[in-house]
């Protein structure tokens, strides 16, 4: 026990000692009254009154001592001295109580002496209860009390009296021994309480530090998200324009050499788009904008998409891609599951130089299907199994080669599987390949609704001759979008804001509105679409296009009930969206 804790324990023991003074004084007065009643018929009254007065005076002194202790300023620093003062007073009280066996009883009054002995034993029992936590006080009171009582019996003479005297000495010894054990137990309890308080204090301090660290981490995470959102928007703008112009050029009269150059430009923009999409996934997950839509899905539909997506990529690296078909029906979000598996397969192909990649599933006894991606790649050291799921962390890429990604794929995978409540496990050894395992709940195949819903359908070309309004504050984007839409046979009106669009439309009703989210002078595409719909018709379909991935902006778009496509926009996605909207309108 350290010195500080020892002082606190000592202080608590003395505090308890003085805290019981009033209760001890009350019981002492009752004992004095009982002894007075017992001895009144046999003891000279003057002698009895003097003994009563001394006993009460000693008890009053102890109450005064307790009052001085409670008002003292040095209780904490001089607790042991105050304890010994109480012990001295208790010793005086013990002498007064023990003297009753000599002063108040004659030799021939054996019954009276026995009754007084019972009263003294009762008074000593009270001392054990109230003073055992401070042994000096108990010893000071009990020793003279029982010692004088034992001597009185011995001085009376006779074998019986001597035996009773020895018995009272034995009772004294047992009482002191019991008191010491009780004192050790009480001290242990006090020490344990203070140690627990210290531990609680340390835990509270650690919690405060942990809370501060968490707040700093959250602040850093928010700053990071804001930075990437702003960077996304600013970098996507020119990339978006480049993609539009390149697609428009390719749709024109270009020779084979020109087409090859344009294809290379589009390939570069597609690579950059993939990097931006990884950042967008993280931003959407942070913003809580990804909604899980679970349905009953034939796992083969997801596997078929994987096979068609990555077959060419695997063949280019001379790897074998095996996607084993299965009859399993699962309850999941097919789009999110495909994104997760696509990330895993892409990583496996990227980090595998020979051998191949296997995608398969097997039914487990716990009502789940284990969807697994195996590869014969470089493997992952055991100590890195957690770190690879951190954002921007990559193995074996010290030069930060961007052809190997940003290090966001597995971070996105973990967040999405957690969102879908699909446990993810990793088994890997260096040089022996890796195995990613996702547990997906099994579905009842008799309840399948529409397997075809997850298959990308080809939509007929319905956009020819449609009037489309494009609102964007960047001239290069307006020109690029106009060139692209006109190459598809659309009529296009471009404007910087809603007012300019209304002025250029000449009373016609557009078939579709494409608006940038951020416009000049603190305007936005949401308000522009609302204004056009208010003037021209609420049923006009619309889409927002933006490079902004900030969580706040994503929530605003969602609250407005609008669809948003992110820059750089793939022409094929825009065309598919337009065909889909016009097909819906045609069916309606």
Give the pLDDT of residue 357: 93
User: d(Cα 103, Cα 148) in Å, to the nearest integer?
Assistant: 11
User: d(Cα 370, Cα 438) in Å, to the nearest integer?
Assistant: 6
State yes or no: pLDDT of 407 exceeds 80: no
State the average pLDDT over residues 554-565.
84
One-character DSSP codes across 361-389: EEE-TTSEEEEEEEE-SS---GGGTTGGG
- Residue 396 binned pLDDT confidence (cut-offs 50, 70, 90): low
- Measuring CA to CA, which residue among 565, 551, 566 is closest to residue 289? 551
Give the pLDDT of residue 239: 63
The HSE-up count of residue 310 (CA atoms within 13 Å, CB side) is 28
Q: How buried is residue 343: exposed, middle or buried, by Cβ count under 10 Å (0-12/13-18/19+)?
A: buried
Give the pLDDT of residue 460: 57
Instruction: For residue 568, say if its preceding peptide bond is cis, omega within 30 degrees of 0.
Output: yes
Q: What is the CATH number of domain 295-454?
A: 3.30.565.10
Give the pLDDT of residue 553: 75
User: d(Cα 247, Cα 165) in Å, to the nearest integer?
Assistant: 117
Share of the chain above pLDDT 90, in %: 13
Mean pLDDT of the chain: 80
pLDDT digit string, tens, across residues 461-483: 788 889 999 999 888 888 888 88
User: d(Cα 252, Cα 47) in Å, to the nearest integer?
Assistant: 133
- Long-range pairs for 420-424: beta carbons < 8 A, 24 or more residues apart: 420/292, 420/294, 420/332, 420/333, 420/336, 420/337, 422/332, 422/337, 422/340
Give the pLDDT of residue 280: 59
- Measuring CA to CA, which residue among 436, 318, 338, 310 is closest to residue 380? 436
CB atoms within 10 A of CB 585: 13
Could you tell me where the DSSP H helices lie in 446-567? 475-487, 498-504, 525-536, 551-559
User: d(Cα 343, Cα 363) in Å, to the nearest integer?
Assistant: 23
Range picked from 79-93, 214-228, 233-247 for highest mean pLDDT: 79-93
Neighbouring residues of 261: CB distance < 8 A, sequence distance ≥ 6: none
Class of domain 224-289+457-588: alpha beta
Let me know: does 436 contact 373? Beta carbons within 8 Å: yes
State yes or no: pLDDT of 242 exceeds 70: no
Of 456 and 394, the structure prediction assigns the larger pLDDT to 394
Q: Within the chain, what is the greatest distance between any pair of CA atoms? A: 141
pLDDT digit string, tens, across residues 343-387: 889 888 988 888 999 999 988 877 889 999 999 988 888 877 777
Least confident range of 83-97, 110-124, 215-229, 290-304? 215-229
Share of the chain above pLDDT 70, in %: 82
User: d(Cα 10, Cα 21) in Å, to the nearest integer?
Assistant: 18
User: d(Cα 302, Cα 453) in Å, to the nearest integer?
Assistant: 12
């Amino acid at each position: 026990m350290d010195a500080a804790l020892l002082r606190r324990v000592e202080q608590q023991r003395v505090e308890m000692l003085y805290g019981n003074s009033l209760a001890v004084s009350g019981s002492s007065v009752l004992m004095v009254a009982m002894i007075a009643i017992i001895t009144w018929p046999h003891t000279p009254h003057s002698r009895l009154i003097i003994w009563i007065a001394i006993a009460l005076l000693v008890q009053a002194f102890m109450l005064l001592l307790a009052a001085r202790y409670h008002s003292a300023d040095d209780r904490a620093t001089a607790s042991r001295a105050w304890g010994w003062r109480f012990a001295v007073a208790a010793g005086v009280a013990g002498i007064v109580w023990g003297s009753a066996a000599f002063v108040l009883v004659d030799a021939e009054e054996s019954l009276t002496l026995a009754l007084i002995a019972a009263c003294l034993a009762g008074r000593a029992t009270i001392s054990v209860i109230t003073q055992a936590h401070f042994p000096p006080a108990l010893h000071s009171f009990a020793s003279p009390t029982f010692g004088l009582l034992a001597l009185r019996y011995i001085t009376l003479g006779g074998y019986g009296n001597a035996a009773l005297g020895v018995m009272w000495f034995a009772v004294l010894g047992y009482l002191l021994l019991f008191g010491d054990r009780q004192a050790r137990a009480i001290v242990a309890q006090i020490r344990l309480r203070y140690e627990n308080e210290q531990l609680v204090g340390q835990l509270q301090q650690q919690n405060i530090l942990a809370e501060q660290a968490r707040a700093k981490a959250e602040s850093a995470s928010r700053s990071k998200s804001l930075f990437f959102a702003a960077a996304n928007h600013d970098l996507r703008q020119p990339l978006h324009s480049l993609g539009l112009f390149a697609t428009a050029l390719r749709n024109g009269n270009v020779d084979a050499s020109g087409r090859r150059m344009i294809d290379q430009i589009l390939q570069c923009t597609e690579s950059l788009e993939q990097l931006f999409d990884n950042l967008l996934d993280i931003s959407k997950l942070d913003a809580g904008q990804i909604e899980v839509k679970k349905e009953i899905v034939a796992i083969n539909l997801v596997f078929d998409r994987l096979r068609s997506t990555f077959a060419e990529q695997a063949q280019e690296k001379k790897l074998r891609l095996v996607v084993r078909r299965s009859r399993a029906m699962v309850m999941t979000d097919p789009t999110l599951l495909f994104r997760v598996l696509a990330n895993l397969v892409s990583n496996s192909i990227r980090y595998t130089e020979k051998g191949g990649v296997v995608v398969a599933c097997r039914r487990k006894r716990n009502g789940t299907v284990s969807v697994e991606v195996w590869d014969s790649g470089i493997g992952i050291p055991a100590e890195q199994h957690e770190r690879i799921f951190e954002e921007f962390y990559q193995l074996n890429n010290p030069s930060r080669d961007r052809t190997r990604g940003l290090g966001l794929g597995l971070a996105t995978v973990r967040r999405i599987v957690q969102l879908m409540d699909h446990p993810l496990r990793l088994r890997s050894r260096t040089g022996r390949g890796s195995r990613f395992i996702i547990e997906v709940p099994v579905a009842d195949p008799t309840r399948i609704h529409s397997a075809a819903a997850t298959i990308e359908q080809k939509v007929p070309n319905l956009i020819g001759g449609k009037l489309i309004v494009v609102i964007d504050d960047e001239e290069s984007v307006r020109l690029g979008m106009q060139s692209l839409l006109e190459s598809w046979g659309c009529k296009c009106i471009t404007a910087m804001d809603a007012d300019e669009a209304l002025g250029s439309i000449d009373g016609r009703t557009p078939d579709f509105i494409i608006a940038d989210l951020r416009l000049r002078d603190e305007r936005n595409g949401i308000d522009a679409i609302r204004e056009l719909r208010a003037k021209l018709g609420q049923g006009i379909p619309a889409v927002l296009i933006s490079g902004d991935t900030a969580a706040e902006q994503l929530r605003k778009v969602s609250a407005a009930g609008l669809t948003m496509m992110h820059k750089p926009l793939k022409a094929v996605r825009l065309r598919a969206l337009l065909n889909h909207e016009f097909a819906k309108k045609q069916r309606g």
